[in-house]
A and B are shown apart, each in its own frame.
Chain A
């Protein structure tokens, strides 16, 4: 439900959002620009979210960019795995816009 996320993020001022269809598309778009924050699902076609996190953490330009994972996978093992790979936050679905907004603001250090 990218649309819902985009709605939520639109409520944070001075934030522009670039959408990607899957992990590979995400890496392609990352290579074309510089980003302050990355939000990804785990279950995605072609390249899943965990592989994407791993690739981003080995990328010189974006290795320090905060990553939020939003997923239906709610087990503590999934969470630990994602965090050990380098994710900065782990949010479980169903998506709650206030929760996402609060986490984005916290990671971007904005009021």
Chain B
């Protein structure tokens, strides 16, 4: 190896010994170097442009992704809001249903109260009409009016038990010829049974049509001092009335309890010379003297 080294040095020396070639070589090198440098610079610039472009794209992409993330958040928020609103809607619907039920209940109650008020007004008027008169004819007329206008009876007969306690005589009627009427024996037929027992009877099968003296639609015994002293027999109702109303039974109770006493009071009063005479001796009767 040591023997070759001097040979190489000799050769190198030989080359460097040629200044012209060296200069050319140097210039060529420099040109090559510069050209390579330019090429490299250009490559770098191109690379830079590409990188700049990629950076720009990435920035755009980044912005888009950020916007999308924000949008997703907004959607998630909106979904949460929608869910909350759905829940609220459900609760409101439930509340609405409850209120609807309460309204229906109150409406039903209101109707019931209206009906009760109406019934009470009927009963009040009936009671007032029975006791406002002191003339037997007037009391009888009022009883007839009550039957026609409050109950809706078209034909009916009012009987009073004779003092013998075996028969009842008609004292008033409506919608039936007087020639068809006669005394009723207590215990005989529907009317006689009610007169004997004091128990009312009412047909309930609708429509309530075709009542007769033998089969009246209703018989209301008239009570006084715990005894049956008469009866009202309803034979037919107005065409537009096909069934009993809720208040009818109450009206029958009221007539049964008050009509006879009103007639007795009117009958007794008619035998006096006026209210003052009728009240004479009341204090003694009340044991106030």
Contact = CB atoms under 8 A, between A and B. Distances in A.
Interface of A: 1, 3-4, 7-8, 72, 74-75, 92-98
Interface core residue of B121, B148, B245 (most chain A CB under 10 Å): B121
A3 B125 contact: yes
A75 B129 CA distance: 28
Given A3-B125, A74-B238, A96-B118, 15 more contacts: A1-B125, A3-B129, A4-B121, A4-B122, A4-B149, A4-B150, A7-B125, A72-B148, A72-B152, A75-B239, A94-B238, A94-B241, A95-B149, A97-B114, A98-B118
Contact of A92 (B118, B128, B240): B240
A93 B114 contact: no
Interface residues on B, range: 20 to 34
Given A93-B238, A98-B118, A72 B149 contact: yes
Interface of B: 114-115, 117-118, 121-122, 124-125, 128-129, 145-146, 148-152, 154, 238-241, 245
A94 B114 contact: no
The 10 nearest A-B residue pairs measured at CB: A74-B240, A94-B152, A97-B118, A1-B149, A7-B121, A92-B240, A74-B239, A4-B125, A3-B125, A93-B149
Contacts of B245: 94
Contact of A95 (B115, B117, B129, B150): B150
A94 B129 contact: no
A75 B245 CA distance: 20
A8 B115 CA distance: 12
Nearest to A11: B117
A94 to B, nearest CB: 4
Nearest to A95: B149
A95 B152 CA distance: 9
B166 to A, nearest CB: 35
A97 B148 CA distance: 16
A95 B146 CA distance: 11
5 contacts: A3-B128, A93-B149, A93-B152, A95-B149, A98-B115
Nearest to B153: A94
Contacts of A4: 121-122, 125, 149-150
Contact of A94 (B117, B121, B128, B151): B151
A1 B240 CA distance: 18
A77 B89 CA distance: 56
Contacts of A95: 149-150
A74 B237 CA distance: 11
B121 A8 contact: yes
A10 to B, nearest CB: 10
Nearest to B241: A94
Contacts of B151: 94
A64 B126 CA distance: 35
